[in-house]
Structure 1
């Protein structure tokens, strides 16, 4: 459909992943397995935290929200990718594309905010152990989670509304496997200076500042441990912070490399691989990182299974 000298785009074409035709079935099976693993792993963590009263603590409140965010984050992109690989139809309607971009922004930013909140929780637990209960009160914890959801929703809505006002010309091919802000902006043929300014400003608020806050939290944690160095103190840091640090490195490493490095230095294949890391691989690995390195989660899993087994027998 045309309007004046411009073409009004009704749909986009997602090129997907640069996979040879003869390997399509193999990668389809691989991605399907990864997606199902992500769902199962994150659902297991959420259910365990809900069922086991020993896990009704601030850290596990944040972890349950992180697992929910990971589950939804992966679900925004993977079903469409799997559908396109199966049907060989790369098209996605304009409205669906903006919707996917909106939810991708919501859950991606939510993970960023939750990692900051979890870093603060670890900071209070290690640096102020005697005051942990009073500082991390239930009201504060719920307020931090609600504030995170409100901020991410507002941020995603702002980007979506700004994107919706742009005009798109004849080129509707997105060299990606999902609708992201940057590829869509490259296709826009109207003035996008406001969008780029908002991305620059808000990118600092949702990526750079949270990352710096996490770094400051761990600098304070390490500093407090070195003031009274002991094997027990060092072990406490690694046991309580090791899982969180692993997730931070996985998430922010790919995000910073993809969005904060000059795009001219990144090939399309490199950008796609890095996007696959933080949208698919990280949400899949998070449950394993937290469960395999976390004694509380292992004990909760044992308790829940034992209780269910006894109930079933009775």
Structure 2
């Protein structure tokens, strides 16, 4: 099985766009399409269906995806293992469209020789990520432990990610160029799927208490596409997103990302890493994050910072 075809399938599945996958893999969209078509012929099934927004997994594609990720990870580790004195930095991000991943990708583009193995554990409890670091399965994770930190780990603050309000065109706040937290009061802010014990559960609890906001966490999170569909069609539902989070939607949705200031609301990003003998590549990544322009001095942050 062609591992590059499998890699192209995985990135297209995670990004939802063949062109985005091609950009990350530094090949043409035609090359990605040919690789996936060859993989579908080999497997004898259709892996994607095309939509107006890009591509979506078929049921067979959904079944194949976790195994495909294992194939890609195994191939990358096998190559790394053949290089004397070389070991890729394995780092966990909350999601491949998150600010952490976007900034990390910017770093890699500026330093393309860096050996990176970027993964997402897809766990809500940060202590599960901490356990993976302690077991040697990860070198670091962009997670925050809001309680007692294990003695053999460090948690390094690296960047405060400002929040924006994301609305559809018919929302009452859609025409605003900027908003204050006070102007958000009374408006329904939908953040589905907030998991107990997650750092974002603590964050939103403190945020809504501090500014008396109306946060709706009802329902499971069916993915960004469902969230964006709902917001585009609604006159009263909005959500909060990070200023550097990457979202893609059809032009007809006319969604609005509105900065919040007075004060800026910031989600603090931290990096968990071993206290002793961390991977030598982490220092440059921490420096890169800390070199980014910080929010203003009056920025609101949760109390754990």
Greater helix fraction, Structure 1 or Structure 2:
1
TM-score (norm 1): 0.26
Q: Which of the pair has more CA radius of gyration?
A: 1
Q: Identify the structure with bigger relative contact order (alpha carbons < 8 Å, sequence gap 6+).
A: 1
